[in-house]
Structure 1
Amino acid sequence: MIREVGPACEQEGPDPSRSIAARLARLEANNAVRAVATRYFRLCDALGPTTQMDELGDLFAQDAVWEGKGRYEEAFGRHEGRDAILAMLGSYATSGHFILNAHYLTSEDIVILDDRTAMASWQMLQVSTYHDGKSDFRSASLNLEFAVRDGSWRITRFVTQAIFSRAVGPWNDDTAISVPTASTITLENEDTEK
């Protein structure tokens, strides 16, 4: 979803006085912001010794802030500056902390404030299995701010606040995946013919 802010946005529908170029620039900004967030989580899904930490760092402005709120305040703390953020994220990468990690984002709301700044929020679900064999299922509210720095959209503020967390059994096991076989397909076809 793309939302605009300011007095010109109080009317219904797109402002016909805005140029197509300006509207296109806003769409491109929206997609760029989404791409930065998506890349961050894809890298975090595979966070480990082979993670390209330079690429992860490039997603943040030099003066960015990353912080946990609520239950996450104690767990993750607050990190100011790209180097501090990378040190925190790097501690998960070098320790082999995750065996399995997957983030799912929903309820996206991106607001392009102007041609150089934006804010966005998502609801996140995360499933993880850790090196100690424990697994959990979590949800968090994410609020991010972005700005164009050095010619690219970058995260300037990343806030994650826990909604819930629940310990679960292992997410992945060796159970065979159920797929149709020739005999089950034949039986199903026979049943429908009767």
Structure 2
Amino acid sequence: MSSPEHLAHGTLIRYLELCDVPPPPDATGRLEDLFTPDAVWEGVGPLYAAKFGRTTGARAIAEMVAAHLPPNPHFRANVHLLHPGTTSVKGDEVRGRWLMQQLSRYASGAAELVVARLEVDFRIEGDTARIRHFRTERVFTTSLPTAEAAAR
């Protein structure tokens, strides 16, 4: 059996892969299944609290995230890069903190690099970790060249 930290990390990686556009070929599962039924997903800090707010419940979270993913044309391409983080275990709970880079090209042609701080609480259920509370805070952003400018 994997350690609670390893299970939590694996769940976070699957979440980020399912949010990539296009997702990796081996990304499987449903976003909803990665969350506890009473999970909370929220944007925190001055930039993300207003943009994302707070969503409660696995189904509502999956629907909120899916609104940005195909077939919705929000992203042309989107990839998440997770930096090493720290985790702590208390009983059947794991809390982790990571920095995540997100490189996005939007349907408009605009592109940006975002760095966000993730603080995520997981509940361990047997050999599965489910997200109980997901918090994201943008700490850096910059525009990237458009596809047309990059091709020149």
TM-score, scaled relative to structure 2: 0.86
> Offset of 1:171 from its aligned partner?
6.1
Higher helix share: 1
Specify which of 62, 68, 73 is matched with residue 37 of structure 2: 62
Tell me the distance in 2 between the aligned counterparts of 1:54 and 1:77.
25
Runs of 4+ in 1 over 6 A off after TM superposition: none
What is residue 133 of structure 2 aligned with on the other side? 157
CA 1:160–1:47 in 2, change beyond 3 Å: closer, same or farther?
A: farther
TM-score, scaled relative to structure 1: 0.68
Q: Which structure would you say has the larger RCO, counting Cα contacts within 8 Å and 6 or more residues apart?
A: 2
Specify which of 101, 107, 120 is matched with residue 125 of structure 1: 101
**Which consecutive unaligned segments of at least 5 residues does structure 1 have?**
1-24, 176-194
Tell me the distance in 2 between the aligned counterparts of 1:85 and 1:53.
18
1:34 aligns with 2:9: yes
How many pairs does the alignment contain?
146
- Are the aligned partners of 2:22 and 2:77 in contact in 1 as well (CA < 8 Å)? no
Q: Could you say what secondary structure the match of 1:46 adopts?
A: coil
Higher strand share: 2
- Are the aligned partners of 1:63 and 1:156 in contact in 2 as well (CA < 8 Å)? yes
CA 1:136–1:123 in 2, change beyond 3 Å: closer, same or farther?
A: same
Q: Which moved more, 1:145-154 or 1:159-168?
A: 145-154
Q: Could you say what secondary structure the match of 2:83 adopts?
A: strand
CA 1:159–1:47 in 2, change beyond 3 Å: closer, same or farther?
A: farther
